[in-house]
Structure 1
Amino acid sequence: MSTPRLSPAELRDLAPLSLEEVNERAALITRSCRKYLFPADLLPELFTGQFGVLEIEGLRSFRYSSTYLDTPCLQTFRDHRQGRRLRFKARVRTYLDTGTRMFEVKAKGARGLTEKVRTAYDGPPDQLVPAMRRFLEDTLAGYGISPPGPLVASAVTDYRRTTIVALSGEERVTVDTDLVGRRGGRSVRMRPDTVLLEVKTRGGLTPTERRLHRHGFREVRFSKYTTTVAALEPGMRGNPWHRAMAAHLDRPRADDLVEDLSA
């Protein structure tokens, strides 16, 4: 059973925006990012004509695959679980509809804001080539973070994403569905009636968040990478995300039972 995707009817009142227009209105590279998990049938009530939606060649929903790189002892995962003030994630993100690939570093600095730095990448998604290792170390040095030890592929997350932007530029909202996390030959799937929404902004609560609050939904602690590892790695606790995992993830299973999202 597949997670419900955003249908044209649900988005018909939203103006199509090119990638250039989205970035011009709300690039929000330095930002606060808050996450919400809620039923998919609430989506049509959240967005009005005050929003536009990213559209490329007629598509408004895009397939993503992210390969996360961590130390063999999962130090990045542990830093996030412990809530360390200075921390980062490194991943290779592949845009499956175009074949484009980027190496991304997401770092959280002293101000508590998440910053994402990225560069084009033409290497294998599960290996960090020397040039990207230098890129990573140079990026982390700017945050006062010591370079990690050797990095290996530690998890893969596949999902579909729709990007919605307030025409005022106040907020950029990503809506993720069909989320599957994979590690070590096993996989875990987000429940089919659940949507993961991320609100990216430089300010306080946005109009979208106020609507969610009126429906009784509050910000949750949820990370695609860390919940995948916590769900699939034997003996690895995921205390900060336990409640969200229990409510919104199905039981882990053998990876060969999970349908291919690229089909």
Structure 2
Amino acid sequence: MRPPSLDRFAPIGLEELVAESALLTRVDRKYVVPLAEASMLLERLNDGMRVLELGGLRDFAYESIYFDTPDLLSFRMAAQPRRRRFKLRTRTYLDTQASFLEVKTRGARSATVKDRIPYELSVRDRLTGDARDYAADALAAIGVEPRRASGLGATMTTRYRRATLVTADGSARATVDTGLRWDDASGATLSLPALAIIETKSGARASEVDRVLWRAGHRPATVSKYATGLAALHPDLPRNRWSRLLRGPFSDAAASTPPASTAHPTSLHQPAPHPEESSCVAV
């Protein structure tokens, strides 16, 4: 299936987008929508919407490589969920070959902090010594023993194409991800070519994109590309938090993929954690 058409929207450049839609307080909502329906929903948006355009392109290839401990601490913090949790990944913009190391943490007061630093493209699938120090500092900030950073290894790679829309007044924006694919370190693969993940970012009031989705019967979904994808590929992992998606739109796609390995992905290349590390997490 072809991605939704963005031709009718006026373009906006990256600098202008950042300047106009720097939302100090925002509400994020995610929706999992059939790709064909996503195209129809975009047609219902008013003509004042603008789409990010760079070098003549309006959707861009993304690659994210996620890092986790041998016992999948990051995944399990999201699955339970814990008030304190983290996510560590390299994100690469494949069209420009720019790569960053990103860490997202949530502390005791549920405030999410996202930070990133430039990263060498050629080593984006592994962590350098400096990267482990960077991760250790982030873990310590949420009460996780910093030495756990020494066991972090590549667990999952996600790839997709992303288009970014912004309202005429810059008060809200939305991303539309298509061509969704997951590959984990055990060799298991999941592809969802018939689905789109739409994420909206707005202030206290719902955005136009939210209202269009709601009128069509779509409601926000609990979905994490890393955690939901890992649970879909490994049915032995905790999955209650994403059960509706895993029984629904993810189930048909998962059934068409090669059987997933029951081995946890990090167990293929990481040493076992120290026995005492199971008590290192502050919750």
* TM-score bucket of the superposed structures, by smaller chain: 0.7 to 0.9
Distance 2:249 2:13 in 1: 32
Distance 1:135 1:145 in 2: 13
Superimposed CA distance per residue, residues 199-219 of structure 1 (whole angstroms, 9 cap, x where no aligned partner): 123424222112211111111
Instruction: Go from structure 1 to structure 2 and tell me whether the alpha carbon gap of 1:46 and 1:140 turns closer, same or farther (over 3 Å shift).
Output: farther
Q: Does residue 177 of the first structure (1) align with residue 178 of the second (2)?
A: yes
The alpha carbon displacement at 1:143 in A equals 4.6
Distance 2:140 2:14 in 1: 30
Distance 1:19 1:51 in 2: 15
The alpha carbon displacement at 1:232 in A equals 1.6
Query: Does the CA contact (< 8 Å) of 1:32 and 1:201 recur in 2?
Result: yes
Distance 2:241 2:116 in 1: 27
Deviates more, 1:237-246 or 1:214-223: 237-246
Residue 23 (structure 1) aligns with: 18
Instruction: Go from structure 1 to structure 2 and tell me whether the alpha carbon gap of 1:110 and 1:202 turns closer, same or farther (over 3 Å shift).
Output: farther
Deviates more, 1:52-61 or 1:242-251: 242-251
Query: Does the CA contact (< 8 Å) of 2:23 and 2:171 recur in 1?
Result: no
Instruction: Go from structure 1 to structure 2 and tell me whether the alpha carbon gap of 1:88 and 1:173 turns closer, same or farther (over 3 Å shift).
Output: same
TM-score relative to the length of structure 2: 0.80
Distance 1:169 1:15 in 2: 13
Q: Does residue 86 of the first structure (1) align with residue 84 of the second (2)?
A: yes
Unaligned 5+ residue runs, structure 1? Answer: 256-263
Query: Does the CA contact (< 8 Å) of 1:4 and 1:177 recur in 2?
Result: no
Q: Does residue 48 of the first structure (1) align with residue 43 of the second (2)?
A: no
The alpha carbon displacement at 1:24 in A equals 0.8
- Work out which of the residue numbers 245, 251, 254 in structure 2 matches 1:251: 254
Instruction: Go from structure 1 to structure 2 and tell me whether the alpha carbon gap of 1:52 and 1:125 turns closer, same or farther (over 3 Å shift).
Output: same
Distance 2:144 2:41 in 1: 39
Instruction: Go from structure 1 to structure 2 and tell me whether the alpha carbon gap of 1:119 and 1:46 turns closer, same or farther (over 3 Å shift).
Output: farther
Deviates more, 1:169-178 or 1:136-145: 136-145
Residue 192 (structure 2) aligns with: 190
Residue 124 (structure 2) aligns with: 125
Higher helix share: 2
Task: State the Cα RMSD in Å.
Answer: 2.1
Provide the secondary structure at the position in 1 that maps to 2:160. Answer: strand
Residue 281 (structure 2) aligns with: none
The alpha carbon displacement at 1:60 in A equals 0.4
Within 5 Å, give how 1:98-247 maps onto structure 2. 98-122=96-120, 124-147=123-146, 148-149=148-149, 150-183=151-184, 184-192=186-194, 194-233=195-234, 235-247=236-248
Deviates more, 1:227-236 or 1:175-184: 227-236
Superimposed CA distance per residue, residues 65-114 of structure 1 (whole angstroms, 9 cap, x where no aligned partner): 11000001101000000111121100011111111111011222345443
Query: Does the CA contact (< 8 Å) of 2:66 and 2:157 recur in 1?
Result: yes
Distance 2:225 2:113 in 1: 17
Q: Which amino acid aligns with 1:136?
A: A
Distance 1:145 1:15 in 2: 46
Provide the secondary structure at the position in 1 that maps to 2:254. Answer: coil
Distance 2:88 2:44 in 1: 31
The alpha carbon displacement at 1:29 in A equals 7.5
Q: Which amino acid aligns with 2:87?
A: K
Identity of aligned residues (%): 39
Residue 64 (structure 1) aligns with: 62
Superimposed CA distance per residue, residues 128-175 of structure 1 (whole angstroms, 9 cap, x where no aligned partner): 112122222334444555433420001010111001112322212110
- Work out which of the residue numbers 31, 34, 50 in structure 2 matches 1:36: 31
Superimposed CA distance per residue, residues 43-78 of structure 1 (whole angstroms, 9 cap, x where no aligned partner): 323432232111000000101111000001101000
Higher strand share: 1
Instruction: Go from structure 1 to structure 2 and tell me whether the alpha carbon gap of 1:72 and 1:21 turns closer, same or farther (over 3 Å shift).
Output: same
Deviates more, 1:30-39 or 1:80-89: 30-39
Instruction: Go from structure 1 to structure 2 and tell me whether the alpha carbon gap of 1:30 and 1:130 turns closer, same or farther (over 3 Å shift).
Output: farther
Provide the secondary structure at the position in 2 that maps to 1:126. Answer: coil
